[in-house]
Structure 1
């Protein structure tokens, strides 16, 4: 997040990035990392509870799942927005170019990750060994490469942590395999918008329909695709209905931020009232915020540029952060320190996650992304000029 639970746009996609959107992605990946730390180094009875209310701490450390859905919305917005800028309309998508760009961005890191995870499994490294009765290394590999790891876990149970994060990639990439085909088949923009709106609004229904499998309720295809559809809709509205003034833009930003904050901070209170509609509030609010931020080109404030940087590297960080989490948690366990000081381990873990993602991006994924695009798109037909 996608990926995705996020396999969004490449860091090489545009020389002029939207810092505000990168900031939102950075917040999302931070929530994912902190959630995975908190499951292993709890903040309960720690020093932060002396100064901060439990509700605020819970909002910070237990919203990893919601953060993946934010990734889904952002991914839909960015990829659809890039397609609209490149081809003018979604029904003009060039299949070859679209799939090559997705493959160049996704496959290098994914192939490297599963190769490393396979070696660690065969070596019997704790936390990386697939050892449940109904799971196996071939089964996990096939589910990753076949984009059904979410279904595999729903059928057999959770995989080790660094395999488990790939569930969001299964949802995201299945969506993007079919998305350009649907755009070409439906062709008419009004029909496409209606189909996307129906999918986006289905989120509470599709989640509520799954009552007998907690893992599948979290990781089923349709709820995640509904979140991606919300992002695609936001990109379409941003292209066709530009915001007429700064005042309306600020209002929409406030509405979007308010909806996201209400979900993250007060989800426990809102759940008894709106149930699965809470996730729709999150995805709709994220869509509104992204719509408002479409033409926002200001730089990130100085104090949060590190978070913007995490947003630019979110795909690499998402795939690799569990290596850092497991490594530092092992040190923490061996240290047997006072749990009151557990929160002090969070900052170095986050920093090392960023560092590992940055190294991977700059020495591996960005060069390969560029090389694969240059190799397979060198003879591609130029995109048609946007209509109008």
Structure 2
């Protein structure tokens, strides 16, 4: 769940946060992803209502695919940090990158682990070693939501090594894109073979089967920073981008019903669709960027990492409310709204507080000790569609 600043108009900037100026468009995408994940995980009150079932359907059916959106966005953002440096200097400062990632990810993550150690909500043998070594996606963890962070941690090590290899070979943009695409196709073939062999657990959790979602984002970052004319060519094709996102939604509605299909070609389809969604959001948010709902979702996205880490704490209060509503015979539909709203509120408040108390202070320390090389805001390749 890396983040990245993009210099837009002043109205597009979020509330002040450590680091470079933030892009509300990217925080909006983060917000969509974390809302989808929360909606999938939160417990709901049975109503028997067709309307409520229709509201729940996209969340309960494919809300967990919000993780794939996080992956593709992280690939774009984190890949962009490295590829911008590569395009300018022809080299990668892997050490600085990894240290800055550690300051971003680890403090909030290890506070979560310490909380669970002292709270005693889970036996330590169900999570501690796995989470401390970032191998929870292979060995399992009772802090279930952290599996995706292990995938990203592995990606943060893999990508700099890969780009250092590109730098030593002095590869240009087309060659880099070709290698990245080839890796994605190898991952697709390997994942499809694993699905055919019945390893659905592995294809869902293991890094070697999920890293292509991140690499598609890296490919977009390579185009964005190293081939600005190609990015402009892509960005002006609004109808194509919209059609791709519509096809993505159709896949989410219909294709994800088959677990085997979704965990083979489905992750590739989603990565392509989410890549189009990123470009479409960056270039065509227009006047809706200033709307209260857009800014509200963007605000949630600003705190999405903290919310993601801590949102499972909302499940127990949700269960208590479900039992009380059932015992008291309260009306089903109002109870459903109240219980879901309570879980969203608890997760958001805890995520906000922990982000302000842990993540932001450590980002300030990071920026003081290991400042980013760039001082000026990152410029977005001009396409003429940023307003």
Higher helix proportion (structure 1 or 2): 2
Q: Are 1:304 and 2:294 matched, yes or no?
A: yes
Is the CA contact (8 Å cut-off) linking 1:317 and 1:353 kept in structure 2?
yes
Q: Deviations over 1:353-386 (max 9, x none)?
A: 22221111122211111113312x16x8779xx9
Moved segments of 4+, more than 4 Å: 7-11, 268-275, 292-298, 337-340, 380-383
Aligned counterpart, 1:227:
213
Aligned counterpart, 1:195:
179
Say which SS state the counterpart of residue 236 (structure 2) adopts. helix
Distance 1:342 1:59 in 2: 16
Aligned counterpart, 1:344:
338
1:240-279 alignment runs, 5 A limit:
240-242=227-229, 243-244=231-232, 248-268=236-256, 276-279=264-267
Aligned counterpart, 1:209:
193
Q: TM-score, normalised by structure 1?
A: 0.80
Distance 1:268 1:296, change over 3 A: closer
Distance 1:53 1:192, change over 3 A: same
Distance 1:42 1:369 in 2: 39
Distance 2:187 2:57 in 1: 24
Q: Deviations over 1:294-340 (max 9, x none)?
A: 55685353223221111111111100101122233233224435555
Which one of the candidate residues 356, 359, 364 is aligned to 2:353?
359
Say which SS state the counterpart of residue 62 (structure 1) adopts. helix
Is the CA contact (8 Å cut-off) linking 1:149 and 1:166 kept in structure 2?
yes
Aligned counterpart, 2:362:
368
Q: Deviations over 1:241-282 (max 9, x none)?
A: 444479824224313421331232223568798872222111
Say which SS state the counterpart of residue 260 (structure 1) adopts. helix
Report how many residues are paired: 351
Distance 1:381 1:20 in 2: 24
1:135-150 alignment runs, 5 A limit:
137-138=124-125, 140-150=127-137
Once the two structures are TM-superposed, the CA of residue 75 in structure 1 deviates from its matched residue by: 0.4
Once the two structures are TM-superposed, the CA of residue 107 in structure 1 deviates from its matched residue by: 0.8
Which one of the candidate residues 14, 26, 32 is aligned to 2:20?
14
Aligned counterpart, 1:317:
307
Distance 2:260 2:315 in 1: 33
Aligned counterpart, 1:175:
155
Say which SS state the counterpart of residue 127 (structure 2) adopts. helix
1:153-164 alignment runs, 5 A limit:
153=140, 159-160=141-142, 163-164=143-144
Q: TM-score, normalised by structure 2?
A: 0.80
Is the CA contact (8 Å cut-off) linking 1:81 and 1:232 kept in structure 2?
yes
Q: Which runs of 5+ in 1 are unaligned?
A: 1-5, 122-127, 131-136, 154-158
RMSD over aligned Cα, in angstroms?
3.0
Distance 1:237 1:373, change over 3 A: same
Distance 2:278 2:260 in 1: 28
Once the two structures are TM-superposed, the CA of residue 205 in structure 1 deviates from its matched residue by: 2.7
